[in-house]
Amino acid sequence: MFALRFLLATFAGWVNRQQASAIEFLTEENRVLREQIGERRLRLSDDQRRRQAAKGEVLGRDLLSKIATIVTPDTILRWHRTLIAAKHTYARNRFGRPGLMKAIRELIVRMAKENASWGCCKSTIAKARKDHGIPP
């Protein structure tokens, strides 16, 4: 049993060193690329921001402050709040009676212009006429 635990601990340590080396390499690669870009501001799409925010939020502010080179950790976390949270925002249901169809409204306006002597009562027709500046 001791040999198995020792083997697992050795393997876990090796994997941890490999991951740490990969992270260090990628961090340095980002720094080199950032130096080549210079002071120019990077233009990221919403999709790129969303992907960065999703990965960065899992890491947390402390770890991001050590490895983030493109933008600050606060920016990544702000992206997460706005872009990821906006993904789960749905339109509210409208209350009340649905509006008048555009085709019917256009027909009312056309008939009112062609037949100026016709009257109308206080209703949907009167409202449609008023919206288009046609007096009752």
Mean pLDDT of 29-58: 85
pTM value surpassing 0.85:
no
92 is a domain residue: no
Please list the alpha-helical segments (H only) found in 1-136.
2-37, 46-59, 61-67, 73-79, 85-87, 102-114, 124-131
Domain identity same for 31 and 7: yes
Q: pLDDT > 70: what percent of the chain?
A: 90
69 is a domain residue: yes
Domain count within the chain: 2
Give residue 45's identity as a one-letter amino acid code.
S
The better pLDDT of the pair 11, 56 is held by 56
Domain identity same for 121 and 65: no
Q: How confident is the model at residue 20 (pLDDT cuts 50, 70, 90)?
A: confident
pLDDT of 30 above 70: yes
Domain that holds residue 22: 2-87
Q: Looking at residue 42, what is its pLDDT?
A: 81
136 is a domain residue: no
93 is a domain residue: no
d(CA 57, CA 60): 5
CB 76 within 8 A of CB 56: yes
